[in-house]
Amino acid sequence: MLSLKKYLTEGLIQFTILLSLMGVRVDLDSYLPSHLPPLHEIILGPTSAYTQTQFHSLRGTTDGYGVHPKSVDLDHFFTSRRLLSRMRALDRLQVPSTELDTWLVHREADSSVSSAQTGSSLSPEGPQDLPSSDSSLRDNRETEQGRGPDELGASAPSESSELNKEEIDPIDILWLQDIDLGAGREDFESRGHHKDNEDIWESLHDDPGRESLQSRVQVDGETGENVPQEGQTAMSLADCLSLLDDTFQFAGSSEFPAPESQSILDTEPGPVALDQTDGLLSPFLPDMASPLDLEEQWQDLMSIMDMQPMDTNSSADDPLYLSLDPPLQPNGTLDAPSLQGCAQNLSLFTPSLEAFPISESPLPQLSSHNSSDINSTFGFTNLTGLLFSSSLNSTSNETSSGSLQDPLGGILGDALFDEISLMDLALEEGFSQMQTSQLQEELDSDSGLSLDSHRSPASPSGSETSSSSCSSSSSSSFSEEGAVGYSSDSELVEADDVEEAGGYQPEYSKFCRMSSQDPSRFNRLPFLEHVGHNHTYNMVPEEPEEPESPLAGRGSRRQSTFIDRQAGRDEQRARAMKIPFSNEKIINLPVEEFNELLTKYQLSEAQLCLVRDIRRRGKNKMAAQNCRKRKLDTILNLEQEVKRLNRERSSQLREKGENLRSLQRMKQEVENLYQEVFSQLRDQEGRPYSAQHYALHYTSNGNVVLMPRNAEGQQQRRPERKDRRK
């Protein structure tokens, strides 16, 4: 019975995987036996991300920053923060986070990319932004899903949620492996993709005057070279390339002023031909006699793109032309149906495309970027350059290895992924530098962090006036905030924040406790007033000139010090010197009123000196309190800034990983299309072309040219050669 259950469970899981292949999401957890872990744990293994830790409750507030360091609840808060800081210290490690469920799946696909994301995207997010475990989990997932399409900038289908994509991801890997093993080919051939492709093609080329598959077949039939799939495949390749070029908008790149997509693919209707020419180069040029740097390669490519149509010049050594006419709009852009058709076409050759809504979600997002954004985001030249250089590398390897079945295979297999890895590294470093500089800038520029901003004379002077005005009527307002005279930005912010202000106010009252020695606060309390005025005999004499109280020293030292602290030494001195007005007035009166007060009474020199000292010390005491509070606020602001930057960093790392993955998928599709086209090309004798000696190249007018590899090196330097089309 148990084995039967197990069998059924495994079958359910496998069935779910199959359903996910078809884009159907099945929640199998509800069907699983209760003793089994959830399905995602069965598939992915148990993750700490799903372990609901109650560390959120360690913070009473949203993130704990509302708690002032001087809060009476500070022990509790710092305990929480210590735990959290430990978790943050695990930045590079696996930190429990609800985001893990997204990235652990990708780890299998490309560990190089996702590992960095996993480490970095976790630490600052997760616990800090989670007010409670339950709601945080839900919120995070919501934000994750809600943010996903936005970050992709895509009109992603609603059913292709983030989770769906992640579920399909490993399946896509299996698909790719099947393709590599040749299994996928027969598979989708057996599915009758020919017919589908033809349908798609016909739908895209409903006008008989345009290039149709049949016409291509006819032309190909003349030479006896091509089968109908070639045209479709070639069109798919062209569409895909146009998509890529459209997507990345290489034309706008100052570094690599690539031609616009329509310049590449804008082909007037004409007979499809596998012409022979000798003069064209291609970004796919695999064989490079001499290694050129990317700039030179691009110049060559540009010269090719700018070539005018060539005059026909048939020769035995000329490379073959394969004219491709992608369904372009009059303006040269691909309309939505074209995209759809391209996606479907692509999906026929690369079933993984069905798994990834690449034509819908990533591409529009990427196309929204301008070239500088792309460069800044990816930190590399462009896809064409990548393909170019990578194909070069792969070809150079091919000549030695002899395996030329996959001219672009090196792109994904070695060179491109290496470059992506390097790019990732460079991005990582650049990002860190950028973030460091950004942090520096913000620390320098942020007024909330600048001490100078707090040196605004407004608040102290305002406090001075307010307290002085209050002091004229009563002494009640001295120890109020206005008397302290410091109001920081963070204070205002936290006061505005309902969640965070709660912890701050008690602290502020505690902070105000620092002014408990102030006479006004002292006088506000009747019993303390009584102590302050009537128990001076407990005062321990501190200054020799002050007359000793006859009862001094009689009380316990502890009691005297307590009273001393409560009353204030200056207060005691003032009483000892029989100063006829309160210390509060001495300290807080404006200088004019203070001088007027001094002139009102006939004071001795010692009394005058004491009064001035009291005033100086009192003001300095408040200044010191303000200064310390300002320091604390600065520390708090810095801490919040660090937290914000950590969140920003993880978000950008996550976005970078998504972009890299979508780029890799696009490259994979291009490579698949290339292989598809190349493998179906036939020479006059009906034999397939050897990848060792021939390679497909891409021209500016949308043609794909089959060129001998040995001629490429020669023609690389002859970009002025004119295009020839039949």
Partner DNA sequence: ATTTGGTGTCATAAG
Partner DNA sequence: GTCTTATGACACCAA
Phi, psi of 96 (to 5 degrees): -55, 125
Partners of residue 696 on adjacent β-strands: 706
**What CA–CA distance (Å, rounded) separates 67 from 86?**
19
Closest CA to 113 of 423, 379, 436: 423
Q: Counting beta carbons within 10 angstroms of the beta carbon of residue 451, is it exposed (0 to 12), middle (13 to 18) or buried (19 or more)?
A: exposed
Other CB atoms within 10 A of residue 422 CB:
12
Binds DNA by CB under 7 A, chosen from 250, 284, 511, 678: 511
CB of 80 to DNA, least distance (A): 17
Which of 569, 718 has the CB closer to DNA? 569
Run of H or E including 696: strand 694-698
**What CA–CA distance (Å, rounded) separates 247 from 354?**
19
623 is a contact residue toward DNA (CB under 7 A): yes
Other CB atoms within 10 A of residue 465 CB:
14
CB of 601 to DNA, least distance (A): 16
Binds DNA by CB under 7 A, chosen from 90, 109, 514, 531: 514
Strand, coil or helix: 211:
coil
CB of 497 to DNA, least distance (A): 22
- β-strands 704-708, 723-724: how paired? unpaired
Which of 60, 462 has the CB closer to DNA? 462
CB of 626 to DNA, least distance (A): 4
CB of 148 to DNA, least distance (A): 43
Cα–Cα–Cα angle for 68, 643, 633, nearest 5°?
30
66 is a contact residue toward DNA (CB under 7 A): no
Q: How large is the angle between the packed helices 489-496 and 605-680, nearest 10 degrees?
A: 70
451 is a contact residue toward DNA (CB under 7 A): yes
> Cα dihedral sign for 110, 187, 192, 229?
positive
Which of 369, 454 has the CB closer to DNA? 454
Q: How large is the angle between the packed helices 228-248 and 213-223, nearest 10 degrees?
A: 120
| Contact (Cβ atoms closer than 8 angstroms) between residue 518 and residue 617 | no
Binds DNA by CB under 7 A, chosen from 289, 551, 606, 624: 624
459 is a contact residue toward DNA (CB under 7 A): yes
Which of 510, 647 has the CB closer to DNA? 510
Count CA within 13 A, CB hemisphere, residue 328.
Answer: 27
Binds DNA by CB under 7 A, chosen from 627, 638, 642, 645: 627
Binds DNA by CB under 7 A, chosen from 253, 523, 625, 650: 625
**What is the full DSSP assignment across 188-208?**
HHHTTHHHHHHHHHHHH--ST
570 is a contact residue toward DNA (CB under 7 A): yes
Amino acid residing at 549: S
Which of 38, 555 has the CB closer to DNA? 555
**What CA–CA distance (Å, rounded) separates 122 from 477?**
48
CB of 27 to DNA, least distance (A): 51
Amino acid residing at 624: A
Site string for DNA, 68-97 (x = CB under 7 A): -xx---------------------------
Which of 301, 574 has the CB closer to DNA? 574
CB of 612 to DNA, least distance (A): 8
Which of 58, 608 has the CB closer to DNA? 608
Binds DNA by CB under 7 A, chosen from 561, 607, 679, 692: 561
Stretch that binds DNA, among 45-53, 353-361, 391-399, 622-630 (CB under 7 A): 622-630
Binds DNA by CB under 7 A, chosen from 45, 457, 544, 550: 457
Site string for DNA, 111-150 (x = CB under 7 A): ----------------------------------------
555 is a contact residue toward DNA (CB under 7 A): no
Q: How far is CA 389 from the centre of its chain?
A: 28
**What CA–CA distance (Å, rounded) separates 297 from 503?**
62
523 is a contact residue toward DNA (CB under 7 A): no
Stretch that binds DNA, among 48-56, 148-156, 172-180, 617-625 (CB under 7 A): 617-625
Closest CA to 167 of 211, 101, 121, 117: 101
Which of 239, 464 has the CB closer to DNA? 464
CB of 429 to DNA, least distance (A): 34
CB of 620 to DNA, least distance (A): 5
Length of the chain: 726
Which of 498, 623 has the CB closer to DNA? 623
CB of 608 to DNA, least distance (A): 11
| Contact (Cβ atoms closer than 8 angstroms) between residue 220 and residue 274 | yes
**What CA–CA distance (Å, rounded) separates 212 from 221?**
14
Ranges within 36-55 binding DNA (CB under 7 A): none
Ranges within 576-615 binding DNA (CB under 7 A): 590-591, 594-595, 613, 615
**What CA–CA distance (Å, rounded) separates 221 from 218?**
5
Which of 65, 298 has the CB closer to DNA? 65
| Contact (Cβ atoms closer than 8 angstroms) between residue 293 and residue 709 | no
Binds DNA by CB under 7 A, chosen from 59, 205, 369, 454: 454
CB of 500 to DNA, least distance (A): 19
Site string for DNA, 250-279 (x = CB under 7 A): ------------------------------
519 is a contact residue toward DNA (CB under 7 A): no
**Per the structure block, which two tokens stand in for 240?**
């895909």
Binds DNA by CB under 7 A, chosen from 401, 461, 556, 690: 461
**What CA–CA distance (Å, rounded) separates 157 from 35?**
35
The footprint of DNA on this chain (CB under 7 A) covers a number of residues equal to 47
Strand, coil or helix: 321:
strand
Closest CA to 653 of 434, 367, 442, 427: 427
Which of 137, 443 has the CB closer to DNA? 443
CB of 635 to DNA, least distance (A): 11
| Contact (Cβ atoms closer than 8 angstroms) between residue 283 and residue 408 | no
CB of 519 to DNA, least distance (A): 11
473-483 residues labelled b (16+ CB within 10 A) or e (exposed): eebebbbbbbb
| Contact (Cβ atoms closer than 8 angstroms) between residue 108 and residue 170 | yes
Residue whose entry in the numeric block shows the structure tokens 């430990």: 86
**What CA–CA distance (Å, rounded) separates 710 from 722?**
19
Which of 477, 517 has the CB closer to DNA? 517
Binds DNA by CB under 7 A, chosen from 82, 210, 631, 644: 631
CB of 124 to DNA, least distance (A): 25
CB of 88 to DNA, least distance (A): 19
- β-strands 723-724, 320-322: how paired? unpaired
Which of 551, 591 has the CB closer to DNA? 591
Can you give the binding site for DNA, defined by CB under 7 A? 69-70, 451, 454-455, 457, 459-461, 463-464, 485-486, 510-511, 513-517, 558, 561-562, 568-570, 590-591, 594-595, 613, 615-628, 630-631
